[in-house]
Amino acid sequence: MFKLPAPPSARANVHELADFAELLAWMRHSASIREILAYLGQSGDNEYNQGVDDEDDQNSDVLDEVMGEIDRRGKACGAGYPFLLDLNGTVVRHQVADNSDRADVYRYLLLSTRLNMNTEKVHDGIDGTTLLEEIAAIALRCYLGHDRAQSFVFGTAVSGGFKNKINKLCREIGEGGTFANIDPGTGDANDDKLDAVAWVPFTDRRSGKLVVFCQCKTGSNWRDHLTQLQPDAFLYRWTSERCYSLTPVRAFCVSESAQQSEWKGLSGCAGLLFDRLRVVDFFDHVENGDLMVRLRRWNTAAAMIARDAMD
């Protein structure tokens, strides 16, 4: 997986190269196939030029697929995609003037995929990993129907202690009882993989409703974590009633744009999978203006790494 400040290698797959093309366009206002080939040529000279008869032709074929991927992203995100294909699909242009919430969320998701979010997650004093939890809570609520649905952040983006967060969860959902560790004396979890919760309440406030438990991951190494969050086990371990009338739906929210070629397998393991494109598609009705202020500050500071790498 390519990580800034290094460019992608000649082994990079289509969705990695599409991210690189977007980053290059963002930092230079536009990126052509010729410019991307130049970067791949430099990488190929160093590490992957043995046994390839015509590397330039091979890269050109791959880049046709990359431009097709960028076109697909634009259609999937709709108005929230801050890039544009131009000149018969050979140039990616950054829409500099698009400062909409969705466009800036896309930029954040792009950066938080290609930065090393273990060592480069904090910029301008803001932890970029916790921003995704807040974004996921909004996208989930909008997906379920903003006018009726509710959501909140459960993970490390909010303080208050694990016990208090469990009690809030039970109170808001109206099920589960109260906090009760199934193994007293073993201590509390940090968030036990639960990062955001969304649900659709009924006016009667009775049990038995659609609830979504969501885990979030920035970066690109999330595929091994797809099944970590198990809602029924979570409720059994941490609530006094040990279950809900209806087991919550499991969801997984990632900053990466998942590969089309592996989508069915990933979504089959993840449950309701929100990748970058789906998050942007349903990021609307932002009621917390402070979130976007912090996100834009993080973007500005984090983008310096990409800019330095591409100068």
pLDDT given for residue 58 in this prediction: 65
As a CATH number, domain 129-287 is 3.40.1350
The full length of the chain comes to: 311
Structure tokens at 44: 């190929």
In tens, the pLDDT along 42-83 reads 654 444 344 444 555 666 778 889 999 999 999 999 889 999
184 or 28, which is more confident?
28
Above 80 in pLDDT, residue 286? yes
| Biggest alpha carbon–alpha carbon distance for the chain | 69
Q: Where are the domains of the chain?
A: 14-121+298-310, 129-287
pTM: 0.93
Assess contact for 236 and 182: CB atoms under 8 A. yes
Question: Which alpha helices (DSSP H) does 31-161 contain, by range?
Answer: 33-47, 55-77, 101-114, 128-145
User: What does the pLDDT read at residue 45?
Assistant: 44
